[in-house]
């Protein structure tokens, strides 16, 4: 418990976090930790100090120092070859993924790396993908040196086996730009060329000029229909082959008919055609698609578990340490794992004090001690010192791999067709119906010449382009606003699915609670200052997270350090202080048999007399009760935790008594729970979870959202990612998404009104072609403005953030 008021606390000059104590400084600058200070030391040289002048506190906290040989594996040519893109002995090219990139200072620093390492020839940052492309001389520096240098200044690259650089996905995006540019060029020129005819009045313009203009218009329209609009034809064809009518099918049909009829009118001299409308519509639709596909390129939604592991581990072979990639680990290899590293394979503990944090795999938040000879499962994180393990299963066979590869049925996700598709289907049937009725009317009235005219006019006017436009623009804008609120969705389909959700399941650890913060409460005989000091003297010796949490809770500086003490791994610590025998540990350890053993409990006894119990609670994120209350009105809520049930009361109070709260859920239990709910065909389930233990459930649910703490690059595969700090606004986000669907429907209604009005005047022949040519793009633009305005207005109404964090 800190008593210092917030206002007087200093912020670290590197990362902006509060400084815990005032003794880490350099000149007049204060730092929160040694790491930040050493980064500052490197970067405050005259060549680099712009880094600190572009933005205040540009850095990230550097509390965890990295081990000096952590990147030793990069000296191995075979492993380095996986990272290096090109080398000729003189120049080497690499692209590194740095998830820490977040502001313009990062950009500046990373493009001036030559000033830190002279061996670097050039470095270029791709901000969208959070990548840096580095060219260096392998003769003066090395891959390992560069990676270590980056890690030292706070940009540790994310190196993982088998992950492609995002930059290779650049080609389709460029293609989209070409199409937009081309369609815009053709649209504006056809528009301009059409003006003389619109403005000429009843007498028309000279036939040879009119002829010439028509030819140019057709020539300009051909690339629009063959290249710019090709995406719509391809999508429509794909849909038809799967016997499914998507929104592209009626659009493709309308485009073909408009083009055909325009050519016919121009050729027969009966009219000017609709080539300007055609190219305009294609142009606007391409912009709409582009907006919707503006997903977040730096975030991978399909990460597999391998990307959570380092590229290589240290294997001890005949007293020597070798670097071996994870795929090449063999049974009976002896591997060495350091503090804070993940165990990549199932292995037996052979040496060292293992405190394994399985929160990644099971959701259990408190590390478990492992005895020698016991198995440590892949995905466990070592939280005390160095350990040695004997591999018992190769990476591909481990429990974690099997967990991940279990094929949850994907059909719920692919089976749900987007709502614009189903809307456009009804729409298409109705339009076809009207067209056929109109055509047969004229056929039976002996006017077959008017039959084609009527049918094509109806199809052209009723093109569901406006539907596509409003849907794309609205979802594009909603996805953008959600991303400003740290909620990232894979695509528009997920957005659509979220509007139908009726049950929400939460994971506990890491989702509702902070992953590392813990609260301590004490029950028993009140502790005086002397007593606290004695306890702290003992606790200083223990690295166990429980001891550390209690140490911080007591908040006393020990005046001595206990000299006579004994640690029993997994049980507790005991010692003699001032002739008293003090024990801290599990209930059995201190002899309190009536207390049920739990990993969240720590008891104390003095001279064999039981004094009291410390209980560790996870710390809940702020604003959860309010969120649960809001969500309960519309959704069924449930909680599935891999943890023990010590938090049952607290959670029941927050979520409400009627909610299903389950503990000790293994990953497959969570999945089965969802399968059971899905027996009800109307159930639409949203699952939120953070760990690998939630992966099967995230897959099984209709929408799986991964909760990520900090850099969103490290979340399990899911349909979307929410930053943990924003989970308490989930209710507002969901309300906003539902409002978005209404905006699409509304703008679609408006566009139908436009079409009906246009059709009415067109049939009467009272609409001059020029007014029609102006109204067409006007209607598109007003629809775009309406959807944009409404979705921004709704976001404000639900108090969502609308501004880019840096502007």
Binding site for other proteins (CB under 8 A): 46-47, 49-50, 53, 104, 107-108, 111, 125-129, 170, 173-174, 177-178, 181-182, 185, 188-189, 192-193, 206, 208-209, 212-213, 216
* Residues 6+ positions from 129 with CB-CB distance below 8 Å: 97, 165, 166, 167, 297, 298
The 8-class DSSP code of residue 725 comes to: G
Shortest distance in whole angstroms from residue 188 CB to other proteins: 8
Closer CB to other proteins, 73 or 97, in the complex: 97
Closer CB to other proteins, 110 or 361, in the complex: 110
* Cβ atoms of residues 620 and 513 within 8 Å: yes
Shortest distance in whole angstroms from residue 263 CB to other proteins: 20
Shortest distance in whole angstroms from residue 287 CB to other proteins: 14
Nearest alpha carbon to residue 369 among 379, 354, 351, 384? 354
C-alpha 779/C-alpha 295 separation (Å) is 27
Q: In which order are the strands placed within the sheet that holds 354-357?
A: 368-370, 354-357, 381-382
Shortest distance in whole angstroms from residue 196 CB to other proteins: 8
Closer CB to other proteins, 564 or 804, in the complex: 804
* Cβ atoms of residues 621 and 512 within 8 Å: yes
Closer CB to other proteins, 2 or 104, in the complex: 104
Neighbours of 64 (CB within 10 A): 10
Closer CB to other proteins, 108 or 522, in the complex: 108
C-alpha 543/C-alpha 383 separation (Å) is 9
- Long-range contacts of the stretch 565-574 (C-beta < 8 A, 24+): 565/538, 565/541, 567/541, 567/542, 569/353, 569/369, 569/371, 570/368, 570/369, 570/371, 572/602, 573/538, 573/539, 573/541, 573/542, 573/547, 574/538
Closer CB to other proteins, 189 or 519, in the complex: 189
Shortest distance in whole angstroms from residue 15 CB to other proteins: 19
Q: How far is CA 172 from CA 168, 268, 489, 573, in A?
A: 9, 40, 20, 61
Nearest alpha carbon to residue 599 among 553, 552, 653, 544? 544
Closer CB to other proteins, 189 or 615, in the complex: 189
Shortest distance in whole angstroms from residue 140 CB to other proteins: 21
Shortest distance in whole angstroms from residue 773 CB to other proteins: 18
* Residues 6+ positions from 465 with CB-CB distance below 8 Å: 251, 254, 281, 284, 285, 780
Closer CB to other proteins, 46 or 526, in the complex: 46
Mapping DSSP to helix (H, G, I), strand (E, B) and coil, where does residue 679 land? coil
Shortest distance in whole angstroms from residue 775 CB to other proteins: 24
Shortest distance in whole angstroms from residue 120 CB to other proteins: 17
Closer CB to other proteins, 657 or 804, in the complex: 804
- The DSSP-derived string for 412-476 is HHHH---HHHHHHHHHHHHHHHHHHHHHHHHHHTT-HHHHHHHHHHHHHHT-THHHHHHHHHHHH
Shortest distance in whole angstroms from residue 172 CB to other proteins: 12
**3-state secondary structure string across 752-803:** HHHHHHHHHHHHHCCCCHHHHHHHHHHHHHHHHHHHHHHHHHHHHHCCCCCC
Closer CB to other proteins, 219 or 374, in the complex: 219
Closer CB to other proteins, 290 or 576, in the complex: 290
* Residues 6+ positions from 231 with CB-CB distance below 8 Å: 179, 286, 289
First to last CA, the chain: 35
- Long-range contacts of the stretch 441-449 (C-beta < 8 A, 24+): none
Shortest distance in whole angstroms from residue 115 CB to other proteins: 9
Shortest distance in whole angstroms from residue 223 CB to other proteins: 10
Closer CB to other proteins, 125 or 257, in the complex: 125
């Amino acid at each position: 418990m800190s008593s210092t008021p917030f206002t007087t606390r200093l912020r670290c000059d590197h990362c902006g976090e509060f400084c815990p104590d005032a003794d880490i400084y350099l000149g007049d600058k204060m730092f929160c930790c040694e790491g930040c200070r050493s980064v500052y030391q490197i970067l405050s040289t005259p060549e680099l100090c712009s880094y600190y002048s572009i933005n205040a506190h540009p850095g990230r906290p550097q509390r965890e120092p990295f081990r000096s040989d952590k990147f030793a594996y990069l000296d191995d040519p075979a492993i380095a070859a996986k990272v290096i893109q090109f080398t000729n002995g003189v120049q080497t090219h690499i692209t590194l993924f740095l998830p820490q990139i977040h502001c313009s200072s990062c950009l500046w620093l990373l493009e001036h790396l030559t000033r830190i390492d002279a061996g670097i020839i050039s470095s270029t940052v791709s901000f969208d993908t959070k990548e840096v492309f580095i060219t260096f001389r392998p003769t003066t520096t090395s891959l390992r040196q560069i990676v270590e240098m980056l890690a030292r200044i706070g940009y540790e690259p994310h190196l993982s086996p088998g992950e492609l650089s995002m930059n290779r996905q650049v080609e389709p995006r460029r293609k989209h730009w070409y199409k937009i540019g081309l369609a815009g060029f053709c649209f504006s020129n056809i528009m301009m060329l059409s003006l003389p005819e619109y403005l000429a009045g009843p007498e028309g313009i000279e036939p040879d000029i009119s002829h010439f203009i028509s030819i140019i218009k057709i020539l300009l329209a051909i690339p629009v229909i063959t290249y710019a609009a090709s995406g719509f034809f391809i999508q429509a064809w794909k849909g038809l082959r799967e016997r499914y009518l998507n929104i592209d099918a009626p659009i493709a049909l309308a485009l073909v008919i408009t083009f055909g009829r325009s050519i016919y009118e121009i050729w027969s001299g009966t009219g000017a055609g609709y080539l300007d409308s055609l190219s305009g519509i294609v142009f606007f639709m391409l912009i709409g698609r582009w907006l919707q596909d503006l997903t977040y390129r730096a975030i991978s939604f399909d990460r597999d578990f391998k990307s959570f592991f380092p590229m290589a581990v240290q294997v001890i072979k005949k007293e020597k340490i070798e670097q071996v990639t994870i795929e090449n680990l063999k049974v009976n290899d002896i591997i060495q794992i350091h503090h804070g590293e993940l165990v990549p394979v199932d292995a037996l503990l052979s040496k060292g004090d293992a405190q394994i944090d399985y929160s990644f795999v099971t959701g259990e938040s408190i590390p478990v001690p492992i005895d020698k000879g016991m198995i440590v499962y892949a995905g466990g994180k070592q939280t005390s010192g160095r350990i040695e393990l004997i591999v018992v299963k190769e990476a591909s066979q481990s429990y974690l791999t099997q967990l991940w590869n279990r094929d949850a049925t994907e059909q719920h996700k692919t089976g749900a067709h987007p709502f614009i598709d189903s809307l456009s289907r009804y729409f298409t049937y109705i339009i076809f119906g009207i067209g056929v009725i109109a055509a047969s009317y004229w056929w039976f009235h002996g006017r077959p010449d008017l039959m084609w005219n009527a049918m094509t006019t109806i199809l052209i006017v009723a093109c569901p382009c406006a539907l596509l436009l409003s849907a794309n623009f609205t979802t594009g804008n909603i996805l953008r606003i959600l991303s400003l609120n740290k909620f990232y969705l894979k695509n528009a389909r997920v957005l659509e699915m979220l509007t139908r959700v009726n049950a929400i399941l939460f994971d506990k650890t890491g989702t509702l609670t902070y992953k590392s913060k813990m609260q301590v409460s004490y029950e028993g005989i009140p502790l005086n200052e002397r007593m606290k000091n004695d306890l702290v003297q003992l606790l200083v010796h223990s690295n166990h997270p429980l001891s550390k949490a209690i140490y911080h809770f007591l908040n006393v500086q020990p005046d001595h350090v206990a000299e006579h003490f004994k640690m029993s791994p997994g049980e507790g610590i005991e010692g003699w202080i001032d002739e008293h025998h003090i024990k801290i540990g599990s209930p059995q350890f201190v002899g309190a048999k009536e207390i049920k053993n739990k990993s969240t409990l720590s008891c104390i006894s003095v001279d064999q007399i039981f004094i009291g119990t410390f209980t560790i609670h996870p710390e809940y994120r702020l604003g959860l009760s309010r969120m649960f209350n809001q969500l309960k009105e519309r959704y069924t809520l449930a909680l599935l935790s891999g943890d023990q049930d010590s938090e049952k009361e607290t959670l029941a109070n927050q979520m409400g008594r009627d909610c299903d709260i389950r503990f000790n859920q293994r990953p497959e239990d969570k999945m089965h729970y969802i399968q059971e709910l899905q027996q009800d065909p109307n159930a639409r389930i949203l699952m939120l979870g953070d760990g690998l233990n939630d992966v099967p459930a995230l897959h099984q649910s209709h929408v799986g959202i991964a909760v990520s703490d900090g850099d969103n690059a490290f979340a399990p595969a899911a349909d979307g990612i929410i930053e943990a700090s924003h989970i308490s606004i989930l209710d507002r986000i969901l309300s906003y998404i539902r409002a978005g669907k209404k905006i699409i429907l509304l703008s679609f209604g408006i566009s139908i009104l436009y079409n009906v009005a246009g059709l009415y005047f067109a049939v009467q022949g009272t609409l001059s072609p020029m007014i029609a040519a102006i109204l067409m793009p006007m209607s598109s633009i007003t629809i775009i403005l309406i959807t944009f305005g409404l979705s921004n207005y709704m976001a404000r109404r639900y108090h969502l953030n609308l501004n880019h964090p840096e502007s």
